[in-house]
Amino acid sequence: MADKRKIERTICNRQVSFSVDGKAYEGTIENISNEGTLILMNTPVQLQQDKEISITITSADQGDMKKARVIWADEGAFGAEFLV
């Protein structure tokens, strides 16, 4: 099946934290682009489509917090679009 994304995503395996309504969760970024990401959740969370969340992507020396909107979600993963 062809990928319908307009922007190519980079495959990665980076730990990430995200917060929903002030509660923090952990997961792993499976792929990422400038416009969005796919996150595998360590603990399944019920996420509604269009829900705004905060994602903190950490590297060895810093953390980068991004606001995002849930595009789709299932029991173990979700796709999110970064907000400007």
Domain contains 33: yes
Q: What is the pLDDT of residue 1?
A: 46
How far is 17 from 64, CA to CA, in rounded Å? 11
User: Does the pLDDT at position 3 exceed 60?
Assistant: no
Domain contains 49: no
Among residues 28, 77, 33, 34, the alpha carbon closest in space to that of 57 is found at: 28
Backbone angles phi, psi at 74, to 5 degrees: -130, -165
Structural domain boundaries, residue 31: 9-43
Q: What is the pLDDT of residue 61?
A: 67
Length of the chain counted residue by residue = 84
Characterise 4 by phi-psi region: left (phi > 0), alpha (psi -120 to 50), beta (else). Answer: alpha
Domain contains 50: no
User: Span 5-21, mean pLDDT?
Assistant: 86
Domain count, the chain: 1
Q: What is the pLDDT of residues 18-77, one digit of tens each?
A: 999 999 999 999 999 999 999 999 998 999 999 999 999 876 666 788 999 999 999 899
